Amino acid sequence: MNIFIAGGSGRVAHYVIEDLIAKGNTVVAGCRHPETLKASESLKPVKMDLHATVEDLEKVIAGCDAVYFLAGSRGKDLFQTDSFGAVKLIKAAEKLKINRFIMLSSMFALDPKKWNEPGINTITDYNIAKFFADSWLEKNTTLDWTIVQAELLREEPGSGKIVLNPEHEGPVSIPNIAKVLADVLDMKNTYHKLIMVKDGTTPILEALEQVK
């Protein structure tokens, strides 16, 4: 497949790209500074600005078979990038009939009553931004979407084991969440599903196969 990744120079995207290429895919990595990525036969960095119009984003993702939204402003530009940027990319994918859309989000972003819990109560503005992006993808499109929600991303080796849909937030290693994102690509049982992930004891593929 030819796969587009928004936020292609990010921490999570680095591992997702590695995994997707290892599976034989070609990745188009959209980011503000494509020169920071090393182009190859399987990796094509392109300039992408989520402040652009839907029509401009269509031009960037044209020819792709699936789209990932892994972009984030790290609190600097929440509504333009993390929220409305996602909505515009969703609309661009719809117009081009790119039906597979996978989005990385924040755990419990769609459950505001959880936002006062420790570990979540410091990122309310981020969760508000993701609330609107996730809601749009869940309720306003006909795309084959998957939303993967995670919290407390840790830069540490991945265990390859997770727990899905926990009652409370918890840490997840970046390699683990990246593996989840890469694996759900062609798993039809994850279509139209919101999946919350933290590190756990179940092998990733086994956990994802249990999604219903």
Phi-psi region of 24 (alpha: psi -120 to 50; beta: other; left: phi over 0): left
- State the Cα–Cα distance between residues 203 and 121, nearest whole angstrom: 29
CA angle, residues 22, 25, 30, in degrees to nearest 5: 105
- Give tens-digit pLDDT for 149-163: 998 899 999 999 999
72-126 confidence digits (pLDDT tens): 988 889 999 999 999 999 999 999 999 999 999 999 999 999 999 988 999 999 9
Does an H or E element contain 144, and which? strand 144-150
Q: What does the domain layout of the chain look like in residue ranges?
A: 2-209
Q: Which residues contact 126 (CB under 8 A, 6 or more apart)?
A: 75, 78, 82, 106
The domain over range 2-209 is classified in CATH as 3.40.50.720: yes
Look at the pTM and tell me if it is higher than 0.85: yes
pLDDT digits (tens, 9 = 90+) for 45-61: 999 999 999 999 999 99
